[in-house]
Copies of this chain bind each other. A is one copy, B any other.
Amino acid sequence: MEESHMLKEMLKNVRKTAPLVHNITNYVTVNDCANILLACGGSPIMADDVEEAAEITTICGGLNINIGTLNARTIPAMHAAGKRANELGHPVVLDPVGAGASALRTRTANELIRDVKFTVIRGNVSEIKTLALGVGNTRGVDADMADGVTKDTLEQAVAFAKEFARKTGAVVAITGAIDIVADDKKAYCIFNGHPMMSRITGTGCQLSALTAAYAAANPDAPLQAAAAAVCAMGICGEMAYHRLSEADGNATYRNYIIDAMYHLDGEELERLARYEIH
């Protein structure tokens, strides 16, 4: 694929194929996940009971597993849907929300990674570090990265992301002030986004849902699909910020980000994306 038109191509395929994405996700941000999927041109379906999870996955093009507000009832549904998606060759995204915050979340994320082949694993640096510790050693990861990836720790973080990608076979997306999207050979370091995005609940969850739509619409290019989704989310965060009036706060900002995704086109995505390849 020619690098210069890659992002536009990824977005175009989402709008063209309108992928149906199965989400097993937390009840905090689920409505925003559904609306961002509709905004980008995809379609959402939510189903978390083990009795129907695999069947619902079958009729979809992609699966998004998010472990926020996980519980004893929904964890088996995540495994059942993940396995079925693997059998069918559907892209599967893992959002390990809060991995490291409780033993249940860390164990569940690690067991999912053991049993399901993920196409993309997306989390913040703390969550991804927790998972990397769970599946092997963590050379190159140190306390400097504790608070996210900065310019000073970028090379170190890129190496860490590539190594975790190599171990899991997944594209790894570490998001924060700088986002890294990597497979074992290549990394996109993405500079889009706005700090105010962290003042809304669920921008990470929304990005994971969006990534599932992009991966479903671009099954042969998971790295590029994930990078395009991360750029798109960051750009929408920027565009929404510029729309805010003085009295607007995080609630209006939340709406404007989804609104921006609704209108985002491939030309804008290409023009506004800011990334380096490492």
Which residues of chain A have a CB within 8 Å of any CB of chain B? Answer: 26-32, 34-35, 38-39, 44-49, 51-52, 55-56, 59, 68-73, 98, 101-105, 199-202, 243, 247-252, 254-263
Contacts and interface: CB of A to CB of B under 8 A. Distances in A.
B46 A28 contact: yes
B249 A252 contact: no
Nearest to A29: B31
Contact of A44 (B104, B201, B258): B201
Contact of A200 (B35, B52, B254): B35
Contacts of A51: 72, 102, 104
Contacts of A258: 249-251
B103 A34 contact: no
Given A73-B73, A258-B249, A199 B104 contact: no
Contact of A46 (B31, B35, B48, B68): B68
Given A45-B98, A46-B28, A38 B200 contact: yes
A35 B263 CA distance: 24
A44 B200 CA distance: 10
A101 B59 contact: yes
Nearest to A44: B201
A11 to B, nearest CB: 15
A47 B200 contact: no
5 contacts: A46-B68, A49-B70, A52-B103, A249-B259, A250-B258
A46 B261 CA distance: 27
Given A254-B251, A259-B252, A263-B249, A71 B98 contact: no
A201 B248 CA distance: 20
A249 B260 contact: yes
A60 to B, nearest CB: 10
Max chain B Cβ within 10 angstroms of own Cβ: one of A29, A49, A59: A49
A45 B201 contact: no
A69 B46 contact: yes
A275 B158 CA distance: 55
A254 to B, nearest CB: 7
Contacts of A59: 101
Contact of A102 (B52, B71, B243): B52
B69 A47 contact: yes
Contact of A56 (B39, B47, B101): B101
Contacts of A69: 46-49
Given A26-B46, A38-B199, A52-B104, 20 more contacts: A27-B27, A27-B46, A28-B46, A29-B31, A31-B202, A38-B201, A39-B249, A47-B102, A51-B102, A55-B101, A55-B102, A56-B98, A72-B73, A199-B262, A248-B259, A249-B260, A250-B262, A251-B257, A252-B259, A254-B255
